[in-house]
Chain A
Amino acid sequence: MPANTLTDMILGFSVIIGILFLYILSLTLRFKQEKRKASLKNRRNIA
């Protein structure tokens, strides 16, 4: 009979998906910040 490791499996996949989600979120936020900086720079150049 296989060992009862269902909780460990759920924890394992949660950690994998969680890290990926956090990294994607960090990429999105950093890109938005850079985009904001770029548009500010463009506005200053036009002014």
Chain B
Amino acid sequence: MINKPKLLTVFDILTALTLLGALALILFWTPVEITMGPVQKVFYFHVSAAWAGMLAFVAAGAAGAGYLITRKLHWDWVSLSAVEVGLVFGLIAILSGMIWAQPIWNTWWVWEPRLTTTAIMELIYLAYFILRSSLETPEKRARLSAVFAIISVITVPLTFFSIRLFRTIHPVVIAPGGGDSAFSMTPCMLRAFLISLGVFTILLVDLFWHRYRLAKLNYKNQTGEN
């Protein structure tokens, strides 16, 4: 357990290479958007980070359900790891979005539906750690955290669909038929976008794997199990 598996080392290298490749692709291959200029390129990683964060939160909810059904603690480690990694990606999405918004909307933050629901989602998952730290026994902590992770999943579709359900100034990236607010991409942009989504999914799995190993080792140290 303590020694790093060879497969994880290979996966680390693969993740680093694909991330660097995606960054180079975005910086040197994708065209500069005609109105927004170079800052639009942040969009590729911004949306990908939001996607990875939401995926992690859904996985945390599923792992919570896994724990409640099986009562096996490794599901709790999965849930904990997914929430922490999801929070990191959520933070990346929020901060990169703010940096994009400053020159485009002329403000760092607007209380519009997408930004508000994203902030709420992030705060709810932060509360997950407050809950965990207030519970002593591993079983009780795992049980209540699992319930919390399952209930919190509701914020994911709420955040995702907020720009479709409410009036908003946030661009809609994926709009069937292309709405008024749909962000139109050239084929080259679309390819870079899809590649970024894939790379961030790989990054999510890699970081999750590391966090899971940490959770497992932490548990063993606390309980004295070998």
Q: Are A13 and B38 in contact (CB under 8 A)?
A: no
Tally of A interface residues using CB under 8 Å? 24
Q: Are B99 and A8 in contact (CB under 8 A)?
A: yes
CB neighbors of B among A1-47 (8 A): 2-6, 8-9, 11-13, 15-16, 19-20, 23-24, 27, 30-31, 34-35, 37-38, 41
Complex A-B: 28 CB contacts under 8 Å: A2-B32, A2-B34, A3-B35, A3-B36, A4-B37, A5-B36, A5-B37, A9-B37, A9-B38, A9-B41, A9-B42, A11-B99, A12-B46, A12-B96, A12-B100, A13-B41, A13-B42, A13-B45, A19-B91, A20-B92, A20-B203, A23-B207, A27-B211, A30-B214, A31-B213, A35-B2, A38-B220, A41-B224
Q: How many residue-residue contacts, CB under 8 A, span A and B? A: 92
Task: Say what secondary structure dominates the interface of chain A.
Answer: helix
- Residues in B with CB closer than 8 Å to A20 are 88, 92, 203
Distance to closest chain B CB from A14 (angstroms): 9
Distance to closest chain B CB from A34 (angstroms): 4
Question: Which of A2, A5, A27, A41 neighbours the largest number of chain B CB atoms within 10 Å of its CB?
Answer: A5
Contact of B99 among A6, A15, A27 (CB under 8 A): A15
Given contacts A2-B35, A3-B35, whether A15 and B96 have CB atoms under 8 Å apart is yes
A18, B2: Cα distance in complex, Å: 27
A binding-site residues for B, Cβ under 8 Å: 2-6, 8-9, 11-13, 15-16, 19-20, 23-24, 27, 30-31, 34-35, 37-38, 41
Contact of B102 among A8, A31, A34, A38 (CB under 8 A): A8
Tally of B interface residues using CB under 8 Å? 38
Distance to closest chain B CB from A33 (angstroms): 9
A30, B81: Cα distance in complex, Å: 13
- Residues in A with CB closer than 8 Å to B45 are 12-13, 16
- Residues in B with CB closer than 8 Å to A35 are 2, 217
Q: Of all chain A residues, which has the CB nearest B213?
A: A31
Given contacts A2-B37, A13-B23, whether A23 and B88 have CB atoms under 8 Å apart is yes
